Amino acid sequence: MANRNKHLNPNQVYEPARCWVGDTHKIIYDTQEEAELAAKVAAYDHNLGTSLKVYKCPYANHYHLASE
Ligand SMILES: [Zn+2]
């Protein structure tokens, strides 16, 4: 372990708070409460009769909203 050949990759982009789920670039919510609040706000803003579903991301430890 004495000869560490590690350096920073300049092409490595700092990941924004979003992730790809299928073809969709989803906003990440750290907690279920945060996601539920965002769902309520979105339903109100767009005058939706139904609210968006909150689900846990299958790839990481955070939450997303589903539009159906
Ligand atoms: Zn995710």
Distance CA 32, CA 10 (A): 34
Number of domains observed in the structure of the chain: 1
54 part of a folded domain: yes
* Cα-to-centroid distance, 6 and ligand 1 (Å): 28
Distance CA 64, CA 34 (A): 10
CB 43 within 8 A of CB 35: no
Strands (E), 1-68: 18-21, 24-27, 53-56, 63-66
Check residue 51 and give its pLDDT.
Answer: 72
Check residue 12 and give its pLDDT.
Answer: 60
Q: What is the pLDDT along the chain (68 residues), one digit of tens a residue?
A: 555 555 556 666 555 567 887 777 889 999 999 999 999 998 888 887 777 899 999 888 999 998 75
40 part of a folded domain: yes
Check residue 2 and give its pLDDT.
Answer: 53
* Cα-to-centroid distance, 23 and ligand 1 (Å): 12
Q: Which domain holds residue 50?
A: 23-66
Check residue 55 and give its pLDDT.
Answer: 94
Check residue 3 and give its pLDDT.
Answer: 54
Query: Ion ligand 1 — residues with CB under 5 Å?
Result: 19, 57, 60
